[in-house]
């Protein structure tokens, strides 16, 4: 243990603790832009410098470990002056024309630069702005990169490499011209990017944001010749309220549905409906593979970031992927076929919009294999923008239900937004289909939680099903290496984002582990209190099979609900 003094407060902490961590213990907020929890310490921005009594040089709090009897001043006159100088240098090369750029910036409502400026009492800008004139990178279907806003904090580099195991970013140039770019500046759409959007969550300045679809959605909402349908993913309902001042995990399902109707959507459907449909198709596919010596392990196919990852890095395992489309794509497919037929609406007049916690869903919607099932994808953040633009006080709207025919869902579908949720939902159905017995305990707690890799063995009749659940692509890489080394599983669920969809790249910022856990807990609470908790018992699912699809795995089901994948050599 080490005894120190921070701003007059005596502390005793473990050796190895940094000054930044020690300051947090006594609620002293030291500004920083390059530091981000769960990433390696970079120490590049130098905003966190502190004064240590007896030393002439200031030291960065994020990289300096405490020493016995250390006397630390975190906000002395010298420290404040140096921080202002450093901050001026940082923002001098940031695209900060307040007449336009700040107002239109993706981070206009929660800008970390603005927060730091306020914290250090930045009252004037003595340096002339450096015009860098980089061209925006719009080569990706999912993510836009704005190099002129980049402050080279490297948080996106570290998130992509250390958490996701992909590593598409690199630093280029020197001095004020330093910028984060991609290999040979080829653009994010032309490298091994999985579109997961975790770099957006890491970026403090708006130099990275999703490719916006909301203006196109506004256009079709005002086109009376189009029938505009919207679907909402399970993880959106436990995060959307954060954009309106509520605590993370606050459930706003009914208010969200009401807001979407106010915006002008003709029908509001629940992606949970096709999450149940996915379980019917995927569960029966798994049973068929197990009983008929099919390719195992079978990997889930709900996460488009994971799909693109395996296409790039492990294409030899593409046959192990479930052929099921994701719930998003399934709902688009059945809306433009089954629902169109039921309502007598020409499919070409239907516009399907998704609200997703995910940026990779934007790329998924334009894959040629998907037959344009979904026309536009909004992130949770984009829907927050639209609701605010419409001046709706969403949390005070009276709750409204989803539209019928594709609005009823089970609790198993709600937990699709959690890491382990797809696995748990599938097991509830697979158990009863295989054994023809009722499952008494529906909670498979072994596959729950935020651990990157979880393993479980589940007894289903005479079968001991070996399962693994993974969230975060860095952990997916580790599991794939285990499989290559001989580890055996029957069923593997992989989601690209840490914690699953609750931690998606399109969710409100910030999204950290604590916030993800609050959202996950809410999803499990929704499931817990639903009377309908098994996908195969959903009456609307039974109806669509009886009236249209026939049975799981039928020729019609394969035509609409299944897909294929490609090898990507970049």
Q: What is the reported pLDDT for 123?
A: 83
pLDDT of residue 133: 87
- Per-residue CA distances from 388 to 109, 254, 399 (Å): 12, 17, 18
Q: Which pLDDT score is estimated for 570?
A: 61
364-414 per-position pLDDT tens digit: 999 999 989 999 999 999 999 999 999 999 999 999 999 998 999 999 999
Q: Distance from first CA to last CA of the chain, Å, rounded?
A: 51
- Rounded to two decimals, the pTM is 0.96
What is the rounded distance in angstroms from the CA atom of residue 404 to the CA atom of residue 77?
Answer: 64
CB 528 within 8 A of CB 520: no
- pLDDT at position 514 is 96
**In the chain, how many H helices and how many E strands?**
20, 17
Catalytic residues: 282, 285, 302, 322, 361, 364, 369, 501
Predicted local distance difference test score (pLDDT) of residue 569: 78
How many C-beta neighbours within 10 Å does residue 531 have?
Answer: 7
Domains of the chain (ranges; CATH) run 2-75 (3.10.20.740), 128-209 (3.30.70.20), 215-561 (3.40.50.1780)
Give the per-residue pLDDT at 535. 97
According to DSSP, the residues that pair with 495 across neighbouring strands are 471
Q: β-strands 267-270, 227-232: how paired?
A: parallel
- Residue 351's H or E segment, with its range, is strand 350-356
- Long-range pairs for 11-18: beta carbons < 8 A, 24 or more residues apart: 13/66, 15/65, 15/66, 16/65, 17/65, 17/66, 18/61, 18/62, 18/63, 18/64, 18/65, 18/66
**Residue 236 to residue 243: CA distance in whole angstroms:** 11
DSSP per-residue codes, 74-139: SS-HHHHHHHHHHHHHHHHTS---TTTHHHH-TTTTS-HHHHHHHHTT-----SPPPP--PPPB--
SS3 of 422-440: HHHHHHHHHHHHHHCCCCC
pLDDT for residue 398: 98
Two structure tokens written together for 289: 């593979």
Which residues of the chain are modeled with pLDDT < 50?
none
Task: Give the phi and the psi of residue 453 in degrees, each rounded to 5.
Answer: -130, 125
pLDDT by residue (tens digit) across 9-55?
999 999 999 999 999 999 999 999 999 999 999 999 999 999 999 99
């Amino acid at each position: 243990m080490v005894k120190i003094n921070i701003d007059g407060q005596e502390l005793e902490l473990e050796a190895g603790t940094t000054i930044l961590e020690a300051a947090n213990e006594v609620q002293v907020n030291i500004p920083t832009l390059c530091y981000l929890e769960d990433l390696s310490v970079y120490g590049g921005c130098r905003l966190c410098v502190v004064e240590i009594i007896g030393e002439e040089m200031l030291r960065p709090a994020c990289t300096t470990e405490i020493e016995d009897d250390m006397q630390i001043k975190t906000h002395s006159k010298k420290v404040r002056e140096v921080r202002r100088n450093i901050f001026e240098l940082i923002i001098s090369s940031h695209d900060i024309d307040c007449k336009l750029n700040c107002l239109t910036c993706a981070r206009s409502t929660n800008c970390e630069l603005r927060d730091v400026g306020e914290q250090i009492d930045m009252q004037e800008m003595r340096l002339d702005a450096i015009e860098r004139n980089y061209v925006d990178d719009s080569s990706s279907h999912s993510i836009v990169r704005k190099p002129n806003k980049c402050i080279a904090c490297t948080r996106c580099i570290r998130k992509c490499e250390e958490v996701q195991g992909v590593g598409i970013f690199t630093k280029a140039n020197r001095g004020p011209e330093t910028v984060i770019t991609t290999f040979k500046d080829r653009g994010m759409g032309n490298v091994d990017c999985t579109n997961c959007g975790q770099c957006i969550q890491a970026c403090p300045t708006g130099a990275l944001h999703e490719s916006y679809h909301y203006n196109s959605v506004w256009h079709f909402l005002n086109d009376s010749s189009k029938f505009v349908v919207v679907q909402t993913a399970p993880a959106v309902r436990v995060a959307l309220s954060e954009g309106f001042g509520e605590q993370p995990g606050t459930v706003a399902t009914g208010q969200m549905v009401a807001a979407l109707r106010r915006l002008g959507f003709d029908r509001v459907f629940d992606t949970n409906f096709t999450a149940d449909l996915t379980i019917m198709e995927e569960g029966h596919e798994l049973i068929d593979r197990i009983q008929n010596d099919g390719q195992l392990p079978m990997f889930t196919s709900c996460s488009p970031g994971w799909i693109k990852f395996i296409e790039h890095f492990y294409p030899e395992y593409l046959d192990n992927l479930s052929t099921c489309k994701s719930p998003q794509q399934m709902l688009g497919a059945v809306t433009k076929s089954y629902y169109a037929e039921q309502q007598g609406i020409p499919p070409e007049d239907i516009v399907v919009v998704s609200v997703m916690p995910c940026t990779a869903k934007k790329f998924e919607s334009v894959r040629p294999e998907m037959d344009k099932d979904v026309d536009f994808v909004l992130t949770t953040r984009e829907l927050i923008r639209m609701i605010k633009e419409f001046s709706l006080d969403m949390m005070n709207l009276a709750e409204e239900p989803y539209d019928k025919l594709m609005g009823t869902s089970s609790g198993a579908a709600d937990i699709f937004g959690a890491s382990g949720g797809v696995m748990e939902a599938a097991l509830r159905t697979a158990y009863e289909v295989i054994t023809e017995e009722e499952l008494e305990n529906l909670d498979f707690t072994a596959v729950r939680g935020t651990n990157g890799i979880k393993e479980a063995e589940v007894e289903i009749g005479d079968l001991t099903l070996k399962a693994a659940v993974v969230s975060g692509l860095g952990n997916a890489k580790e599991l794939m290496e285990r499989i290559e080394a001989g580890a055996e599983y029957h069923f593997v669920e992989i989601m690209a984002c840490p914690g699953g969809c609750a931690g998606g790249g399109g969710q409100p910022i910030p999204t950290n582990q604590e916030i993800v856990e609050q959202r996950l807990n809410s999803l499990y609470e929704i499931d817990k209190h639903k009377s309908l908790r098994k996908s195969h018992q959903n009456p609307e699912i039974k109806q669509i099979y009886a009236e249209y699809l026939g049975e799981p795995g039928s020729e019609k089901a394969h035509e609409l609900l299944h897909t294929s994948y490609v090898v990507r050599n970049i």
